[in-house]
């Protein structure tokens, strides 16, 4: 981890050299995604591994048939849990020294804990039960699982719920604001501005419901998923039941049959879900860009802000552009995770390891996009006069309503009659009113149509 506490208050990976990081998430945008350090940084992963190892050690001590490891006292448990709570730079340095020697990050966790617990005389004789029967993937997949759960709970579900609330609020606020539709880029049947926001509220809401129900899986089973080493030492223990109980205690869904690794179908499922959310919100970002370009929305000008280095009048829709770009970056990574991670040669290969380390990058771009989108929404207001002018300029869009009423009252070829009247023709309200007056419709219906055309 880099130094903390820069003079300008920005938390960067390299505070003394903020221009050096290769990733903009660790440089230019570091302050905006700093909240994710607790879930996706190397420090967070190391701490989560320690947490899994300690909780596993405690769970083993609670298994009465593992007789050589006595049940830990309350004081001993508290001491072990404090190692997790107080995990910091000193512990990281110690663990990294072990990793440099072993060239194995999870084995370094085991050696770190052995060293740490040497000072506990009551536990010193039980150190061989640290990492007992485990393979590194048992620790890693559980660590990733609990970190992802926490990130979703603490950061992403609240962020998405807040955006959903914004969509709903704006949908209600503008529900009676009429607006010209464009289908295929051409004037079409009018809609309301609020209804168009409600479309995205419903789309996002469906995905968010799925996200709230999502749970990561958890694998515990040793070198090839069969509890082979565990059985060799303690054949009388029901290790499958032990494993299920332990995985559930971490808030994860136990996987019954695995190879050496969690097959990562859980990350694939989550990745596809987040890619769908990205796509929906990218669609919204582009719509907002086009509404701003068309003049439907005006953006608030911020004092001191520059829109163009040469054109002083510009107020560019940069927040929606940034959102679009970051949603795309996030999805590119999530879709790669979904395609790559569930594929592993036979019982294990290590190609998933380096890929999983980029989970935070995908989440980081997703968070940046959400922040940009919310900022953009806070700066727009509809131009009601323009919306009215657009509708007045295109009375031909009322042709659908007129021909549909004609169909109701039995007119033959109503669509073709209105097509001849309006398609490719200059249409005015006066022309439409004159046409409606010729129709043999009930008086009330004719008056209603005329009033519709007038307004």
H/E segment holding residue 183: strand 178-183
Contact predicate 113/139, CB 8 Å: no
Q: Vertex 369, ends 366 and 374: CA angle to 5°?
A: 130
Compute CA distances 375 → 52, 163, 271, 405, whole Å. 38, 11, 25, 44
- Number of Cβ within 10 Å of residue 171's Cβ equals 20
Rounded Cα distance between 53 and 75, Å, is: 18
User: How remote is the C-alpha of 247 from its chain's centroid?
Assistant: 24
3-state secondary structure of 381: strand
Task: Kindly state the tokens that stand for 310.
Answer: 């040469």
| Residues β-bridged to residue 298 | 381
Compute CA distances 137 → 144, 235, 260, 343, 352, whole Å. 10, 22, 7, 15, 11
Task: Kindly state the tokens that stand for 92.
Answer: 């990281």
| Residues β-bridged to residue 253 | 217
What are the counts of helices (DSSP H) followed by strands (DSSP E) for the chain? Answer: 20, 6
Rounded Cα distance between 256 and 444, Å, is: 69
Task: Kindly state the tokens that stand for 184.
Answer: 């295929």
- Number of Cβ within 10 Å of residue 178's Cβ equals 17
- Residue numbers annotated as active site: 184, 308
Rounded Cα distance between 288 and 282, Å, is: 10
Q: Cα-flanking dihedrals φ and ψ of residue 10, to 5°? A: -90, 130
Task: Kindly state the tokens that stand for 322.
Answer: 């940034």
Rounded Cα distance between 232 and 239, Å, is: 11
| Residues β-bridged to residue 357 | none
Beta strands (DSSP E) in 277-417 are 297-299, 380-382
Provide the b/e sequence for 349-360 (b: ≥16 CB within 10 Å).
Answer: eeebeeebeebb
């Amino acid at each position: 981890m880099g130094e903390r506490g820069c003079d300008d208050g920005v938390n960067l990976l390299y505070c003394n050299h903020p221009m050096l990081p290769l990733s903009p998430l660790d440089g230019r945008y570091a302050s905006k995604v700093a909240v994710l350090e607790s879930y996706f940084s190397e420090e967070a992963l190391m701490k989560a591994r320690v947490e899994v190892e300690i909780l596993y050690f405690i769970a083993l001590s609670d298994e009465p048939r593992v007789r050589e490891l006595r049940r830990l006292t309350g004081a001993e448990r508290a001491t072990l849990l404090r190692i997790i709570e107080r995990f910091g730079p000193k512990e990281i340095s110690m663990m990294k020294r072990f990793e440099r020697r072993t060239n194995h990050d999870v084995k370094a966790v085991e050696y770190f804990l052995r060293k740490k617990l040497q000072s506990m005389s009551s536990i010193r004789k039980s150190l061989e039960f640290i990492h007992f029967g485990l393979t590194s993937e048992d620790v890693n997949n559980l660590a990733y699982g609990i970190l992802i759960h926490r990130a979703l709970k603490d950061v992403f579900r609240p962020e998405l719920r807040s955006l959903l609330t914004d969509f709903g609020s704006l949908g209600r606020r503008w529900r009676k604001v009429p607006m010209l539709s464009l289908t295929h880029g051409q004037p079409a049947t009018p809609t309301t501005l609020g209804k168009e926001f409600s479309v995205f509220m419903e789309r996002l809401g469906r995905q968010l419901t799925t996200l709230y129900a999502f749970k990561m899986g958890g694998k515990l089973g040793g070198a090839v998923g069969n509890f082979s080493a565990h059985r060799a030492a303690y054949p009388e223990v029901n290790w499958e039941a032990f494993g299920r109980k332990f995985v559930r205690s971490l808030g994860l869904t136990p996987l019954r049959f695995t190879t050496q690794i969690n097959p990562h179908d859980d990350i694939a499922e989550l990745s596809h879900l987040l890619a769908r959310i990205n796509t929906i919100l990218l669609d919204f970002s582009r719509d907002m860009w086009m509404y701003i370009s068309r003049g439907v929305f005006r953006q608030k000008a911020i004092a001191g802000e520059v829109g163009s280095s040469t054109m002083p009048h510009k107020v560019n829709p940069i927040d929606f552009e940034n959102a679009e770009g970051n949603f795309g970056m996030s999805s590119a990574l999530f879709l790669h995770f979904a395609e790559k991670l569930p594929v592993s040669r036979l019982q294990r290969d290590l190609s998933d390891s380096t890929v999983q380390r980029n989970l935070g990058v995908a989440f980081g771009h997703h968070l940046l996009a959400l922040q940009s989108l919310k900022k953009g929404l806070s700066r727009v207001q509809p131009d009601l006069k323009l919306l009215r002018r657009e509708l007045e300029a295109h009375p031909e869009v009322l042709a659908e309503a007129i021909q549909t009423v004609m169909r109701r009252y039995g007119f033959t070829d109503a669509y073709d009659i209105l097509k001849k009247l309006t398609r490719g023709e200059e249409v005015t309200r006066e022309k439409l009113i004159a046409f409606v007056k010729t129709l043999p419709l009930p008086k009330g219906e004719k008056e209603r149509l005329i009033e519709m055309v007038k307004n």
